[in-house]
Amino acid sequence: MTISAENSLNLIAVAKKTRLAALKLAVLSTEAKNQAIEAIAQSLESAKDEILQANVADCERATTDGIAKPLYKRLQLDEHKLRDAIAGVRDVGKLSDPVGAVQIHRELDQGLILKRVTCPLGVLGVIFEARPEAAIQIVTLAIKSGNGVIFKGGKEATRSCEAIVKAIKQGLSQTAVHPDAVQLLTTREEILELLRLDKYVDLVIPRGSNSFVRFVQENTRIPVLGHADGICHLYIDKAADLEKAIAITVDAKTNYPAACNAIETLLIHASIAAKFLPKVAEVLGKLNVELRGDERTREIVPKIATATEEDWETEYSDLILSIKVVDSLEDAIAHINNYGSKHTDAIITEDAEAAQTFLALVNAAGVYHNCSTRFADGFRYGFGAEVGISTQQMPPRGPVGLEGLVTYKYQMTGNGHIVATYTGADAKPFTFKDLG
């Protein structure tokens, strides 16, 4: 990808416009933002035919271009999907406003009051592949959290995205939110350029393949919300209830194998491997799961393929599962901390102490005991919406709801207070009184 100077200047102009609109959006009341969200829902309803026609055109073009089937399914937007997306818009309207929450309210001294208050991040850069209805969701979440948004959909979905954004901007034009708060980029060259706008864009949210997310992470100085890999583990402890172990293995692998919270590797304590492995292999075999085992696994279930070093590092996103026999809880934890992607890992055991050790020592955003890794999801956590799942060490970590789209600032109000009063020999002490 190369960028012409002209393109670059255009994008900076777009970003500045977005920032200006976002600055006004940032201070709107919850009511004003909710009115804008309802206007978006209504405008999308009115533009339904236009959006669906644009999508048909995108789909026809994609078919001509020989698009892969799963991608085609993600691209396709029927009346049902669109209705659901519009219902989703109204659901976001009902969520509580993440802006303006007072996290700290403290008297430092008489008349000197410190507050820590949540506020919007500013401008979000959102880049995703295919699924056009994702645009609807992300714009709504951005407005609810008081942020401007510059986004780039997959090139297959260009017409659909254009129709959607046109409707959204039309809806906003009658509200307190300036339509400039929402911008659509349409050329692929603009992705790299967007990633360079660290002066104008505060957070990048990429949605797409692992390699795409990694590309974004490696090509920007803007913070990135998301994760490249989801290499989740399930460890079957020696004190596991085998019935739970099988049910959870099946759920975590087969419920939705393409999801990032599906497991890729099963670790089994040596002392129960002979009992558990044949059973689980039979069940998974019936569900068409391809198994790949280490040497000790293959001694017990010899018909399966050999797992190599590469398997422990692979997110299959498919009905494939690697299996390793380990000698201890400690070995299981060491394997996970070495090969895992800090997403979600689970232990199956009836031994409370072993569970506690696992939950404490496994370094991941989610550490589970006797339940499926598939619960790692913002909606299932009760956040009402999910803007992404982060596998970084620093917060926000794990499934991130609307709170991931806000930051905070410290507001201090005094009445002529100066620091000289509180330093030196006659320093006045602070009162540090937390207020209600």
Name which of 6 and 309 has its Cβ closer to its own copies: 309
Q: Which of 380, 427, 428, 435: binder of its own copies (CB under 8 A)? A: 380
- Assess 369 for contact with its own copies (CB under 8 A): yes
Q: Which of 134, 165, 376, 402: binder of its own copies (CB under 8 A)? A: 376
Size of the site for its own copies (CB under 8 A): 66
- Assess 106 for contact with its own copies (CB under 8 A): yes
- Assess 204 for contact with its own copies (CB under 8 A): no
Q: Closest by alpha carbon to 214, among 231, 224, 228? A: 228
* Interface with its own copies in residues 265-324 (CB under 8 A): none
Work out the end-to-end distance of the chain between its first and last CA atoms, rounded to an integer number of angstroms: 54
Which range, of 42-50, 58-66, 167-175, 386-394, touches its own copies by CB under 8 A? 386-394
Residue 29 has a CB neighbour count (10 Å cut-off) of 12
Check residue 188 and report its DSSP letter: T
Shortest CB 340 distance to its own copies, Å: 12
Our CA dihedral for 166, 182, 29, 223, rounded to 10 degrees, sits at: 150
Q: Burial, 159: exposed, middle or buried (Cβ in 10 Å; 0-12, 13-18, 19+)?
A: buried
Residue appearing with tokens 């380990």: 326
Angle among Cα 244, 242, 287 to the nearest 5 degrees reads: 75
Name which of 188 and 221 has its Cβ closer to its own copies: 221
**What are the structure tokens assigned to 142, written together?**
């951005």
**What are the structure tokens assigned to 148, written together?**
């401007």
- Assess 382 for contact with its own copies (CB under 8 A): yes
- Assess 257 for contact with its own copies (CB under 8 A): no
Q: Closest by alpha carbon to 150, among 117, 122, 126, 169? A: 126
Q: Closest by alpha carbon to 249, among 212, 276, 226? A: 276
Shortest CB 409 distance to its own copies, Å: 6
* Interface with its own copies in residues 12-31 (CB under 8 A): 23, 26-27
Residue pair 98/142 in contact (Cβ under 8 Å)? The answer is: no
Q: How far apart are CA 211 and CA 129, in angstroms?
A: 12
Which range, of 38-46, 227-235, 273-281, 395-403, touches its own copies by CB under 8 A? 395-403
Q: Which amino acid is at 403?
A: E
- Assess 242 for contact with its own copies (CB under 8 A): no
- Assess 94 for contact with its own copies (CB under 8 A): no
Which range, of 4-12, 132-140, 157-165, 378-386, touches its own copies by CB under 8 A? 378-386
Shortest CB 392 distance to its own copies, Å: 8
Residues that bind its own copies (CB under 8 A): 23, 26-27, 106, 108, 112, 114, 121-122, 202-203, 223, 241, 243-244, 247-248, 250-252, 255, 355, 359-361, 363-372, 374-376, 380-382, 392-395, 397-399, 407-420, 422-423, 430, 432
